[in-house]
Amino acid sequence: MRTLKTAILSAILLVAIATMQPAAAEQLADLKLLCGEATPLKAGTKIAFYGDSITMQGGYIRTMREALKASPHTKDLNVQLFQHGLNGGRVPTVLEGQCPWGKLGGTMQELVDKEKPDLIVIFLGVNDVWHGDKGTSPEDFEAGLKTMIDLCKKSGAKVVLVTLAVIGEKPDGSNPHDEKLDQYAQLTRDVARHNAVELVDARRAFLDYLKKHNVKDGQGEYPRSKILTYDGVHMAPAGNELLADLMSGGIVKALQH
């Protein structure tokens, strides 16, 4: 009976993954690994996600939570996913826990101390670029990420650092903010390397996907603009699925080390 029940739950998970949007179809190996028989998750594992309005909307977190609940290998582990997305959030305002468009309910330090997560995912950068003169300087962005990593490590949590993704879906560098996005993505890569934390390169993965799936037509124009996002920034279902898989890979690697 137990074997039959496990087989049924496994089939449900496979069906759920198979019916996801095409964008994630090529990238599901890591989500399967997180939820699979060899999962590094333990009973009661706590994972906290810190980010901006993409994390506030939380589509990629819901995708992960549903997969964890559907898998026979993780459904009874009581894994907790804490969602801390600040609307309009930048690195310094997420540290402070508030900005003109919202509050997290405490500073990042206070929330980490309260929840005591085993692993923390930091996914920021879009608003640091997008807000222009009211955004975040490269120096403050880099220093703020390091402050976040330091407070996470002092709490005993492992860290996954995620680069920003996109503002616009043209894959050839012609979106208005692409040069600065690339700069801040590289800053994130450098901070991850220098501080020995796991990196998820969402910027690179999104552009790689868009190069395959958003190609110019006969007139030299990009015919599609809402592939991974619904407005150039915030995730459509396909973008959430891709993010969920990418972050699952980072979580698996961080927990295994």
List beta partners, residue 82.
48
Q: What is the pLDDT of residue 155?
A: 98
CA 28/CA 239 separation, integer angstroms: 13
Q: Determine the Cα–Cα distance for residues 146 and 150; give it in Å rounded to an integer.
A: 6
For 47, phi then psi, to 5°, come to -125, 130
Helix (H) or strand (E) holding 82: strand 80-85
* pLDDT number for residue 79: 98
Q: Are 77 and 46 in contact (CB under 8 A)?
A: no
pLDDT at 257: 85
The pTM score is 0.90
Tell me how far CA of residue 172 lies from CA of 22, 101, 126, 178, 207, in angstroms: 21, 32, 18, 9, 9
Hey, what domains does the chain have and what are their CATH numbers?
A: 2-19+27-256 (3.40.50.1110)
**Quick one: pLDDT at residue 225?**
77
Which positions ≥6 away from 160 have C-beta within 8 Å?
A: 119, 120, 121, 122, 197, 198, 199, 200, 247, 250, 251, 254
Amino acid at 201: D
Tokens at residue 185, please? 């993505």
**pLDDT tens, position by position, for the chain (257 residues)?**
445 444 444 544 444 444 444 444 455 799 999 999 999 999 999 999 999 999 999 999 999 999 999 999 999 999 999 999 999 999 999 999 999 999 999 999 999 999 999 999 999 999 999 999 999 999 999 999 999 999 999 999 999 999 999 999 999 999 999 999 999 999 999 999 999 999 999 999 999 999 999 999 889 888 777 999 999 999 999 999 999 999 999 999 999 98
Residue (of 125, 120, 133) closest to 187 by Cα position: 125
- pLDDT (0 to 100) of residue 6: 47
Question: Checking DSSP bridges between strand 198-200 and strand 119-123, what pairing results, if any?
Answer: unpaired
Q: Tokens 């074997």 sit at which residue?
A: 3
The closest alpha carbon to 239, from 24, 78, 70, belongs to 24
DSSP-assigned beta bridge partners for residue 123? 51, 162
